[in-house]
Amino acid sequence: MLEIFDNVCILLAKSEQKHFQFTKKLLEEHGLGITPGQLVVLYALYKGDGVSITELSKKSYLDNSTLTGLIDRLERAHFVSRVDVPEDRRSYYIYLTEEANAIRDQAIAIMQSVAKTMLEGCSEEEVRVFRKVLLNIYEKL
């Protein structure tokens, strides 16, 4: 191991890449029919749906233009629906479907399972520091 991982930037990038691939694999194995990106969007919507793209963008920390595509695919897969806003013809609200609510527990369980696996062997204190540094990175950059 190591060599290139002497650089914390690269180590961060590669760990996230691994995390992404692992999540993708787990979602496939469990046959949820969603991708890692869609999982994040659903996770945000589980905390409250019936929101516009722009509102969802703030909740999910994803760009509007990224969400357009993700919502397209989620809609095609019948996990969300776009509902017109009468007062503003530019906008619409995004609602979860029954299908989406049906996989809610499983989806969240998979996320937790990924977290558990990747942090296995780390103490609570280490995880606390890890979260703190990640948050620091998010805020400083």
Partner DNA sequence: CAGAAGTATTTTGCACGCAAATTAAATTTG
Partner DNA sequence: CAAATTTAATTTGCGTGCAAAATACTTCTG
Positions 49 through 108 that interact with a second copy (CB under 8 A): 59-61
Q: Is 109 in the site for a second copy (CB under 8 A)?
A: no
Touching a second copy, residues 26-45 (CB under 8 A): 40, 43-44
Q: Is 51 helix (H, G, I), strand (E, B) or coil?
A: strand
116, two tokens: 């558990």
The span from the CA of 120 to the CA of 53, in Å, is: 36
By the rule CB under 7 A, 140 interacts with DNA: no
Exactly one of 8, 11, 50, 54 binds DNA (CB under 7 A); which one?
54
CA distances from 100 to 25, 46, 96, 119 (A): 19, 9, 6, 28
| Residues 94/52, Cβ–Cβ less than 8 Å | yes
53 binds DNA (CB under 7 A): yes
The contact set with a second copy (CB under 8 A) reads 1, 3-5, 7-16, 18-23, 40, 43-44, 47, 59-61, 111, 114-115, 117-122, 126-127, 129-141
